[in-house]
């Protein structure tokens, strides 16, 4: 399946990926409205990790054998059959945060209200290319066909 590949050596740490991820997952999908009116409800599902000059954007690795799906007691975490992306069905999520505990990449986060799972990359469900990849100014994120090894993260 197609996955987001992170090229640390080209990441500027500008965090435009976070900006556009937030916009993509806002209800208005308008950058100014998303920041001005929805800032309390929506958060980016990608996070730029930084240490000195080294930085990279981290979002769900879409593991081939995802621990979060295995650990989820309510069946909210599941693999989408059409895209292969691992999604969280927020209707079924009970907010136990097991997924957060088991995620090897630290790529799942609580939503802003802290009750449910929100911060989970869905590969911008339905779009051809994820927003973070499309808007990375230095091609530090690419969207490529990558086969992970069994159990690989």
Q: Contact positions toward another protein, by CB under 8 A?
A: 9-16, 19-20, 31-32, 35-36, 52-53, 135, 137-140
**At its nearest, how many Å lie between another protein and the CB of residue 99?**
28
CA 138/CA 82 separation, integer angstroms: 30
Closer residue to another protein (CB): 53 or 114: 53
- Please, what sign has the CA dihedral across residues 112, 95, 27, 58? positive
**At its nearest, how many Å lie between another protein and the CB of residue 1?**
24
Closer residue to another protein (CB): 16 or 148: 16
Give the max Cα distance, the chain.
43
**At its nearest, how many Å lie between another protein and the CB of residue 9?**
7
Among residues 120, 99, 98, which one has the least CA distance to residue 46?
120
Closer residue to another protein (CB): 2 or 20: 20
Closer residue to another protein (CB): 52 or 126: 52
**At its nearest, how many Å lie between another protein and the CB of residue 40?**
13
Residue 26 region by backbone torsions, left for phi larger than 0, else alpha for psi between -120 and 50, else beta: beta
**At its nearest, how many Å lie between another protein and the CB of residue 51?**
12
Let me know: does 112 contact 95? Beta carbons within 8 Å: no
SS (HEC) of 29-58:
CCHHHHHHHCCCCCCCCCEEEEECCEEEEE
Closer residue to another protein (CB): 58 or 102: 58
């Amino acid at each position: 399946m197609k996955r987001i590949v992170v090229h640390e050596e080209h990441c500027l740490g500008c965090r435009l990926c976070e900006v556009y991820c937030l916009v993509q997952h806002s209800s208005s999908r308008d950058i100014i409205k998303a920041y001005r009116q929805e800032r309390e409800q929506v958060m980016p599902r990608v996070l730029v990790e930084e240490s000195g000059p080294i930085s990279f954007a981290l979002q769900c690795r879409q593991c081939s054998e995802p621990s979060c799906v295995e650990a989820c007691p309510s069946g909210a975490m599941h693999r989408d059959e059409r895209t292969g992306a691992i999604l969280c069905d927020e209707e079924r999520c009970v907010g136990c945060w097991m997924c957060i505990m088991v995620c090897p990449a630290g790529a799942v986060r609580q939503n802003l209200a802290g009750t449910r799972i929100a911060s989970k990359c869905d590969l911008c469900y339905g779009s051809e290319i994820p927003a973070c990849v499309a808007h990375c100014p230095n091609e530090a994120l690419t969207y490529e066909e990558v086969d992970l090894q069994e159990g690989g993260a």
